[in-house]
């Protein structure tokens, strides 16, 4: 069974401290959310993608959101800082969770961002606890899609909103590429866009928007790899050989999968209907 750390984006999580060191920050200096956003967004198009979600969902200070798979806490901090929304940031991997907690404290956002370490599939809160559940590039890691969406439905208030950017399959993927997708991206659940939408409807959601991001992201990951390779000498100086090799491997693998035409992605927004069908 593949483990999540087979995805090389998730090794060397301390590298963000090296980037902050480059900005002249010590490990204890206070931070501003905007200083971090070049390094703490583990999805495509950084905070621009978050602006899309906040506008669609009408983020404001009276709301409580849950982010599933919050990584280093970048999205949660940005949303909380910009809109005043209270965000519960749920992250599976303890090392990422710990870095996230320390960065949030340094940003003075402990009152608006609650970090929780754990698996969403084991996470319990009162039904109707959240106005919105959001997730960037995390749900494809999680098995048992029907139970996952049922849990989201239960945790949302009536009329609550669900927003995700997630990976999807395109065309037929053979066993060999599936195995590589699992190793390189820890891709456990990779439906086609039409199935993704149907899964939401079956769980009792009304899909408001479902947009393919496949071509856009294929270009994004191509440019990201080229930029990383171009600046290799700088990255070696800052992060060392092991971290640079891991990230080069990761960016190359993601690029290969997107350029193969078999990997795609979506941006989807839905709202909770009364009960699951
Ligand atoms: C690609 S990262 C994205 C992090 C963050 N959403 C962002 O955009 O910066 C996906 C994260 O989902 C987390 N994750 C995967 N499965 C999870 C689960 N079952 N429960 C909570 N978090 C999970 C991973 O550990 C990883 O940190």
> Mind listing the pLDDT tens digit for each residue in 24-83?
999 999 999 999 999 999 999 999 999 999 999 999 999 999 999 999 999 999 999 999
Q: Residue 131: is it exposed, middle or buried by C-beta count within 10 angstroms (0-12/13-18/19+)?
A: buried
Question: Residue 1's pLDDT is what?
Answer: 64
pLDDT band at 275 (very low <50, low <70, confident <90, very high): low
pLDDT digits (tens, 9 = 90+) for 135-179: 999 999 999 999 999 999 999 999 999 999 999 999 999 999 999
Closest Cα to residue 44, out of 186, 254, 239, 269? 254
pLDDT digits (tens, 9 = 90+) for 121-147: 999 999 999 999 999 999 999 999 999
Question: Residue 35's pLDDT is what?
Answer: 95
> Which stretch of 86-90, 220-224, 270-274 has the lowest confidence by average pLDDT?
270-274
**Stretch 184-191: mean pLDDT, rounded?**
97
Contact 213, 264 (CB under 8 A): yes
Residue with tokens 């456990």: 188
Question: Residue 277's pLDDT is what?
Answer: 47
CA dihedral 216, 171, 249, 23 (to 10 degrees): 20
Where do the structural domains in the chain lie, given as residue ranges? 4-172+188-214+263-271
Closest Cα to residue 132, out of 57, 235, 220, 72? 57
% of the chain exceeding 90 in pLDDT: 97
Q: Is 8 in the pocket of ligand 1 (CB under 6 A)?
A: no
Q: Report the 10 Å Cβ neighbour count for 192.
A: 16
Q: Quick one: which atom of ligand 1 is closest to the CA of 43?
A: 8
Q: For a substitution probing ligand 1, which of 91, 151, 155, 164 has the most ligand atoms within 8 Å of its CB?
A: 91
Whether the predicted model's global pTM rises above the 0.85 cut:
yes
Contact 272, 156 (CB under 8 A): yes
CA 67 to centroid of ligand 1, rounded, Å: 9
Question: Residue 2's pLDDT is what?
Answer: 82
Contact 68, 132 (CB under 8 A): no
CA 274 to centroid of ligand 1, rounded, Å: 28
Contact 14, 108 (CB under 8 A): no
Q: For a substitution probing ligand 1, which of 52, 54, 69 has the most ligand atoms within 8 Å of its CB?
A: 69
pLDDT digits (tens, 9 = 90+) for 216-270: 999 999 999 999 999 999 999 999 999 999 999 999 999 999 999 999 999 999 9
* Cα end-to-end distance, the chain, whole Å: 33
Task: Say whether pLDDT at 204 is over 50.
Answer: yes
The CATH class, in words, for 4-172+188-214+263-271 is alpha beta
Q: Quick one: which atom of ligand 1 is closest to the CA of 137?
A: 1
| Helices within 23-109 (DSSP H only) | 33-36, 46-57, 74-83, 94-106
Q: CA 216, CA 49: separation in Å to the nearest integer?
A: 12
């Amino acid at each position: 069974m593949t483990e999540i750390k087979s995805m090389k984006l998730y090794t060397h999580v301390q590298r963000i401290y090296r980037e902050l060191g480059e900005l002249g920050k010590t490990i204890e200096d206070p931070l501003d959310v905007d200083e971090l956003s070049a390094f703490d967004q583990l999805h495509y198009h950084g905070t621009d993608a978050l602006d899309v979600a906040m506008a669609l969902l009408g983020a404001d200070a009276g709301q409580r959101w849950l982010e599933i798979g919050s990584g280093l806490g970048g999205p949660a901090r940005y949303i909380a800082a910009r809109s005043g929304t209270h965000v519960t940031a749920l992250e599976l991997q303890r090392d990422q969770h710990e870095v996230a907690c320390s960065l949030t404290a340094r940003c003075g956002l402990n009152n608006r961002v609650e970090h929780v370490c754990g698996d969403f599939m084991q996470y319990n809160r009162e039904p109707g606890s959240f106005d919105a559940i959001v997730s960037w590039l995390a749900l494809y890691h999680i098995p048992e899609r029907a139970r996952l969406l049922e849990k989201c439905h239960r945790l949302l208030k009536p009329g609550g909103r669900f927003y995700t950017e997630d990976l999807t399959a395109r065309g037929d993927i053979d066993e060999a590429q599936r195995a590589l997708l699992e190793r390189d991206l820890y891709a456990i659940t990779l439906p086609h866009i039409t199935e993704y939408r149907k899964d939401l409807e079956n769980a009792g959601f009304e899909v408001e928007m479902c947009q393919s991001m496949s071509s856009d992201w294929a270009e994004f990951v191509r440019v990201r790899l080229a930029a990383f390779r171009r600046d290799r000498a700088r990255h070696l100086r800052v992060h060392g050989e092991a971290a640079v090799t891991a990230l080069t491997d990761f960016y190359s693998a993601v690029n290969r999968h997107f350029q193969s035409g078999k990997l795609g992605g979506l941006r989807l927004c839905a709202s909770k209907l009364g009960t699951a069908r």
